[in-house]
Every structure is written in C-alpha cells, then in structure tokens.
Chain A
Amino acid sequence: MRNFAGTRLAVRAILTVFAKEFRENLRERRTLLSALILGPLLGPLLLAGGLSLRLERGLGEVDRPLALAVAHGERAPNLLAFLREHGVTVTSVDYEPSAARAAVRSGREQQVLAVDADFAARLAAGLPAPLELYADASDLTAAGDSARLRALIQQYSALLGRLRLAARGVDPLLLAPIAVQDIDVSTPASRSVLILGTLSYLILITMLMGGMYLAIDATAGERERGSLEPLLTVPVHRELLIYGKILATCAYMILSLALTVTAFAVVLRFTGLERFGMSVNFGPRVALEVILLTLPLVPLGAALMTLVAAYTRTYREAQTYLALVLLVPTVPLAFAGLVGLRPRPALMAVPSLSQHFLITSLLRAEALPPGWVALSVGATLALAALLVVAAGGLYRREALLG
C-alpha cells in the first residue's frame, strides 16, 4: 500500500490512535499526576531544597561558633584565649582519656581537646607541646568542625613558631621559601555546575516519567483489559496502531519536559547562588535550548518504554520493568561521573550521555560545537527510529495476544 492514498490513510490512522490515547489519558489521574505535576514540580523543588540546605550549611560553617569541650584547659590558658577569639566556645570538662573517647563515640561531645600535664613545661623549653584531639573520623557532619579546629590550632602553633624565631633574631619569612598563587580560571557559570551537575539527570528522569504511564496503559494495559483484540480487527495496518501510541507518549513527554525545564528555570532564580560567586545560566533562552537539545530523546524514550511494556503481560509487570528502564539513561551518566569522562566527539554519538554533556556546557555558558550537536541529535534519532520499527514489528506478531 505505497500509493499516496495509502500514506494519507496511514497518517490518518496514526493520528486517530494518537488523539484517542492523548484524550483518554487526560482523564487518567495517574498519568496526569506523573506527567504534569509530580515530575515537573517535585524535581525542581527537591533540587532547590537540597541546594538551599547545602548552601546554608556551607555558609553557616564558616560563621557558626564552634563548640569545644576541653579537658584540663587551665594548663593552656593562652591557647584557649586564642581559640575563644576565633569563634570557639570552650566548655570545661573533666575527662580522663577513656572518658573522653567514650564521650565522643557516644556523640555526647563532637570533639574533645585534652591538654597534657607537661604542656606548659615543654612549651617553655621549646619542645613540641602535646595536645590530644578526640574526634570521630567516620562522622561526616563533624568533619567540617574538626577541620576548622585543627586549622585554628595550626594557626596558633605557626604564630608561636614565628614569635620564637623573631625572638632569636631569625626572620620568620625564611620558613616560607615558595609562595604559590592560585589563579582560578573558572567562571561564575562554570562554578555553578558543581552544584547543578545533576540537573541533566533530573530532567531526563522526569521526562521519562511523563510518558511512562501512557506507555504502560497503551500496551500492557490494553492487553490486560482485553481491548487489544477488538483493536486488531479494524482495517488498519497493525504497526500504525503502535506508532499512534508512541506518538501520544511523546506528546506527554514533551509536555512534561517543557514544564520541568520551566520549573527549574524559575526555581533556580531564587537559590541565591550568587552569594558564592556562582551564576545560574538558565534564562529563557538557555531553557529553550535545553528543551531543544533534549527533544531527540523523547521519541527514543517513548519507543523504548513502549517496546518494553508491549512485551509484558500485565500492568503491574510493566510497571516493574519500566522502573528499570528509567535507570537506563542514568547508566551513561553515572559511568561518566565515575570514570571522569570529558566531552569528546565520539561520545556525542551516545544518546543520553551526549545530551548530558551538551546541557552541562550550556549551563557553563560555553558555546556548543555545531558538529557535536548534529551528531548527538542524529545518533539519538537514529536509535529512536530503530526502536520504533522494532515496536511496529512486535505488533505484527501473533504472540501479541498472549
């Protein structure tokens, strides 16, 4: 049926199935929730929430007073004065070593500083004066405070060292033979990627979730309900039926994608990353470019989910397998992160990974090489076409009825 009338009929059949699936799912609460509300709202809110927490913590760490328990603090009054001047709140405790250990391990104290009995004597004699710092290295939340404290004590020690040299008529600068100057080439936009690196992953996941329920309903759901067989009795080529369903899935995914990216663009405006010398490069133009870059993944994701769901028997089985399929785009991203992959022309042929690199580049306000974009779009669409044809082939098979 390769004549013009045939093509027109084919297009009309695809659009008929598309229109029905699209409209029917507008009445399906689960699909709407997942595609239009959960993904687009939850993703940005989670990101913004996580960001704020991390930033507040980072900010607070520098300004927040550090609580320190000191045992035998009377043996090192000048050290304690120094610490107090630099924002440390000192509380005196009466711990023997085992008691100090137990206090930190149980979490009663975050860290305990114990001053040895011969601290003052050795200090006066110009010998290393011992202090014990009890801390829990496996406690990540205390890591910041421990580092701060250690830095302060080092500062005090260096101060004493310089005073001793000066007292002996030696220039303290002799101890600093090399001066390293850090020159930072990062831009505010590129720095923002440290925090926003997961953005591309979140966008991909919510996009897939947008079409997931429709993909399941249109295949496994159809079979489970018994509505597949009547559908196969109409005078329409079978693969056209699945093409129409994939198209409807694409429509929901595009809606979800557009809403998600818009939500991110809005939310990121209010995160206050500027306070940290980062700028968020996610204005309307970038948002549109991100959407366009991600569009080729829509038919790929739709065809993949439809294909997998079409193999399953029941709605529940489809849900299980599609949840696994949602992980598929994350594998290249996780791999890239672990192995420390940098963008390369060859990698632009890997769907999902190429979009991740390109989106990250956009966030860094870098120019996108047109060749890379072309390769990314081409390779993704080629794989999508392959999967669509495979889905059509599946629908022609008899075993479809189960």
Chain B
Amino acid sequence: MIEAQRLEKHFGRVTAVREVSLRALDGRITGLLGPNGAGKSTTLRMLYTVLAPDRGDALIDGCSVVREPLAARARLGVLPHSAGIYPNLTARENILYFGALQGLKRSARRARAAELVQLLEMEEFADRRARGLSQGERVRTALARALVHSPRNLVLDEPTNGLDVMAVRALRRLLLQLRVAGHCVLFSSHVMQEVSALCDEVVVIAHGVVLEHGTPDEIRGRTGAGSLEEAFVRLIGATDATSRGPG
C-alpha cells in the first residue's frame, strides 16, 4: 500500500506540490490524473524517494520515505518517465543488473529474469543489445526491471508514453494481471482513456494540489459530468478560474 501524507515540494519560489495526500491500496489500480506540469512526476518522485519532501511524508507498506528510504525503495518497483535502459547490455542483462542491485542472489535473479521474460513476452528480443530495441520493447524491459524483486507496490510515471496501440493493450493486460495478484499499482497519466479503462481509483491533480479523488463514477457524479474527460475539464477549469482571479 502507498500512502502519501500532505506532501509538499518547492523548487526555489515555485511550489510544485502542496498538501498532496493520497492512498493507493493493494489489489487496486490507482491513477494520478492531471495536465502537464500538474505535479504528478514530482509527487511520484517523492514517493519513490528520488526527491525529498519539504513537508509531509509517505508510507510504502508502512515504511516512511523520509526516515527509512532504503526500506521504502525495497518495497517499490518503479518505472520512471524515461525508461533509461543501458544500450550496451542486452534486455536480460539490464534486468539481471537491477536484480543484483536489489540484493537477489545469482540463481534467484536468473530464474526471476527468465520468469519475467516469459510473463512480458520478451523472448524475441531478450538477448539482443538494448540499443536496437523499439520503444515498446524498451518499456517492457524497464517494466521487467522494475518487477525483478517482486515488489508489492508498483509506481509508473506515464508508462504509455510513446507506445503504440498493441503495446498499450499489452501493458494494460499486465497491469490488470498484477492487480488480480494483489499488487498495488499507482500510475500517472494525462490520457483520459487509459485512466477510465483501468483505474479503480482516480486522483485528480492540478497546479500541485489534489482536486478530487474517488472511483471514476464517483468523480463523474460529483462534478455532474457525462464522462471522466468532461469531469476533468470542469475540475481543471474551475481551478484555472480561481487561480487566475477576478477578470
């Protein structure tokens, strides 16, 4: 389970994230929905401890990211914004490297890598140098890398970026599988379709604050919109109006 408690982050004079609280439960897919610059990446980065919150805390399966960052990291699998695969290593070697860094012994990580290659349908390119892989293949490698230590919690930052339709569907299938297996999945997106198709719970964020959260139906109901997109636009619109001030 991932729980954020009133996270706050400033960069110089800009407040990127303010009083953001959210909860992502096990066996559920939670979506962090917001326009570009809303603070999604910043929030996620605080959750996976790459950024330290100026205020507030987050708990990953009860481990505080502020006080026990290593323990928190051990319970997380992360797919950051850029897949960042090592081009000179094969896809499998990329997975094995992270397996070693996660503390898995050699036989364990070899077995796990083989398992993931099968699960993510990577057989065709698993032993090819990552330099020659397509975007979809790269994301799958990054995903395998994030799952190598079988974390219960998975955080993905805009995972469908640059993926074609088939790859998106494959990713969707995988996330649903993980959800069924009891994992906690949290991903950020600004693509409405993805979020409404996948998410059990949606957190709408804009200008660094949480505007709304609940199931897609609840959000539609509360904003009186016909679709999630409509609801989203209304929420954002309202904020824009208030933040811009009179006139």
Question: Chain A: residues with CB nearer than 8 A to chain B?
Answer: 1, 9, 12-13, 16-17, 20, 24-25, 27-28, 225-237, 398, 401
Contact = CB atoms under 8 A, between A and B. Distances in A.
A171 B146 CA distance: 101
A12 B100 CA distance: 9
B49 interface: yes
Contacts of A28: 88
22 contacts: A13-B101, A20-B86, A20-B89, A20-B97, A24-B88, A226-B81, A226-B82, A226-B83, A227-B84, A228-B84, A230-B80, A230-B83, A230-B84, A230-B146, A231-B101, A232-B50, A233-B49, A233-B78, A235-B71, A236-B70, A236-B101, A398-B50
Given A235-B74, A398-B51, A401-B50, A227 B85 contact: yes
B195 to A, nearest CB: 23
Which among B49, B52, B80, B145 has the highest number of chain A CB atoms within 10 Å?
B80
Interface of B: 48-52, 70-71, 73-74, 76, 78, 80-89, 97-98, 100-103, 129, 142, 145-146
Nearest to A237: B70
Given A20-B100, A27-B88, 18 more contacts: A1-B70, A12-B103, A20-B86, A225-B87, A226-B84, A227-B84, A227-B85, A229-B80, A229-B84, A230-B98, A233-B76, A233-B78, A233-B80, A234-B98, A235-B74, A235-B102, A236-B70, A398-B51
Contact of A9 (B51, B84, B88, B103): B103
A interface majority secondary structure: helix
Nearest to B102: A234
**In the complex, which of the residues B78, B84, B87 has the most CB atoms of chain A within 10 Å of its own CB atom?**
B84
A234 B84 contact: no
Contact of A235 (B84, B86, B87, B103): B103
A398 B101 contact: no
Given A9-B103, A16-B101, A227-B84, A233 B52 contact: no
Contacts of B86: 20, 24, 225, 227
Contacts of B74: 235
Q: Which 3 A/B pairs are nearest by Cβ-Cβ distance?
A: A226-B82, A227-B84, A226-B84
B82 A229 contact: yes
Given A13-B101, A20-B97, A226-B83, A233 B88 contact: no
A195 B241 CA distance: 79
B235 to A, nearest CB: 29
A12 B106 CA distance: 12
Contacts of B142: 230
B92 to A, nearest CB: 13
A13 to B, nearest CB: 7
A229 B71 contact: no
A143 B215 CA distance: 92
A123 B67 CA distance: 103
Contacts of B89: 20, 24
Contact of B101 (A24, A227, A234): A234
B241 to A, nearest CB: 34
Contacts of B51: 398, 401
B49 to A, nearest CB: 7
